[in-house]
Amino acid sequence: MERLLNLARGCVRMEFTGAEPEELINRLALRGIPFWSPEKDSVGALRVTVLRRDVGGIQNGGFHARIISERGLPKLWRALAHRWILLIGAAAIAALMLWSSVHIWQIDVSGNETVPTWRILSALDSIGVGIGTNWLSITQDNVRSEALLLLPELKWLTVNISGSRAEVIVREREDIPAITDRTEPTDVVASVSGIVSDMSILSGTKLVTAGQTVLAGETLVSSGITNLAGETRLVNAQASVIARTWHTITAKSPLTAAVRIQVSEKKRRFALILGTKRINFYKSSGIYTTGCDKIILEHKVSCKGLFSLPVSVIEIRTVYYDTEEQTRDEFALRDELITLAEETLHYRIGDNGEVVQQSLSGSVCGKALSVTLRAEARQDIAQSKAFYEGVTDND
């Protein structure tokens, strides 16, 4: 601590000559001049370090002394005093940092899953919270209230300010599960063609029997129920209809693919972002073309965790490459197509469906590989269809 204080006050290394070193030390002590690190050399000179404020007293006190070196804050200040442009620059940067620290230059949104980030940012911008906004003028409650009005999908929102960074945390409303209206008249139709093997009717009138072939869209269970008096009333038909179904799925892919073979050219372009203004240091616009990779890097002027200035250097690297048609590994490609076909089959028969048997065949047709999956499955083909769907009211 004392060392730091001495550096702040300024220290001078002095060399004394003309008397015995011990005599010089005694005289310094007698005059109450603090000193440290005394060092005698072979010719009898004494070097000590003293505070800069005592140099005048030493030089006027009859000592034969000369200054060897100096260090500390006063020296630094004298050095800077002649470099006024540097001082102005430092003051300007300090002022810019101060001004920047009360403005928002980065907005991060988290917690959103279905509501896109751009919608949240747009809503915030419309209520006055955006890049360049003075966060001192933001009231948390007002922002929350207004933003939730604009974004009804959200149930909660908060804006945490940390330096020049605003962290927007949102919570989305949970969707209320669709409620089936059991009073609405519905038929049960076949979702795919097949042979009915088992039926379980909860309500409605059965129109087909086990062993019967049905076509996709054919009504399996009717919503109309006739009572003993011959009156018909409409109900919400519900049933589980298990049927044997057959599927043919074909997956195709070219045997050749364009492969990148060499990098032909690299180009670097730069742009500067000051707040919300962008200055491009290139003439042509950034049109995306094939045959190149465009990598955009943003270098923010910031001190991580402390502050960030509204200045970013954008570096755009464009790497052009040539491609060549190369033949793909047929076995690997076939495995990919089989996997794709099986995934499609499982999507069609649903989670409760069951593959009874399946066969695969493959062929090369021209420059394409084709894989065909033929499968027999057992699946629930019942699908609800509103009774009035497609009915036109002529009244």
Partner 1 sequence: MITKILSHFDIPEDALGTVPRLTIIGGGSALVENHRGLDVLGSERVVISSGGGKITLLGEALELASMTSAEVLISGDIRAIELG
Give the largest CA-CA distance in the chain: 139
Q: Which is nearer to partner 1, 38 or 224 (CB)?
A: 38
**Tokens coding 144:** 């929350």
User: Which stretches of the chain bind partner 1, using CB under 8 A?
Assistant: 21-22, 25-26, 28-30, 32, 34-36, 38, 40
**Tokens coding 345:** 């089959």
Q: Which is nearer to partner 1, 15 or 336 (CB)?
A: 15
Q: Which is nearer to partner 1, 38 or 362 (CB)?
A: 38
Report the nearest approach of partner 1 to the CB of residue 140 (Å): 57
Bridge partners of 370, per DSSP, are 252, 363
Report the nearest approach of partner 1 to the CB of residue 68 (Å): 18
Report the nearest approach of partner 1 to the CB of residue 32 (Å): 6
Under a CB-based contact definition with an 8 Å cutoff, are residues 136 and 108 in contact?
A: no
Q: Which residues of 374-392 are buried (b: 16+ CB within 10 A; e: fewer)?
A: bbebbbbbbbbbebeeeee
Local structure of 193: helix, strand or coil: coil
Residue 156 neighbours by CB under 8 Å, 6+ apart: 144, 148, 170, 171
Q: Which is nearer to partner 1, 35 or 307 (CB)?
A: 35
Q: Which is nearer to partner 1, 11 or 199 (CB)?
A: 11
Q: Which is nearer to partner 1, 29 or 368 (CB)?
A: 29
Report the nearest approach of partner 1 to the CB of residue 306 (Å): 40
Judged on CB neighbours under 10 Å (0-12, 13-18, 19+), 310 is buried
Residue 380 neighbours by CB under 8 Å, 6+ apart: 240, 241, 242, 243, 350, 352, 353
Local structure of 286: helix, strand or coil: coil
Report the nearest approach of partner 1 to the CB of residue 67 (Å): 21
Residue 115 neighbours by CB under 8 Å, 6+ apart: 151, 153, 154, 170, 172
Our measurement of the distance from residue 19's CA atom to the centroid of its chain's CA atoms, rounded to an integer in Å, reads 74
Q: Which residues of 88-114 are buried (b: 16+ CB within 10 A; e: fewer)?
A: eeeeeeeeeeeebeebbbbbebeebee
Report the nearest approach of partner 1 to the CB of residue 4 (Å): 17
Report the nearest approach of partner 1 to the CB of residue 28 (Å): 8
Q: Which is nearer to partner 1, 36 or 388 (CB)?
A: 36
**311, 373, 337: which is closest to 93 by C-alpha?**
311
Report the nearest approach of partner 1 to the CB of residue 54 (Å): 13
Local structure of 56: helix, strand or coil: helix
Q: Which is nearer to partner 1, 62 or 286 (CB)?
A: 62
**Tokens coding 28:** 């310094």
Q: Which is nearer to partner 1, 58 or 196 (CB)?
A: 58
Report the nearest approach of partner 1 to the CB of residue 18 (Å): 17
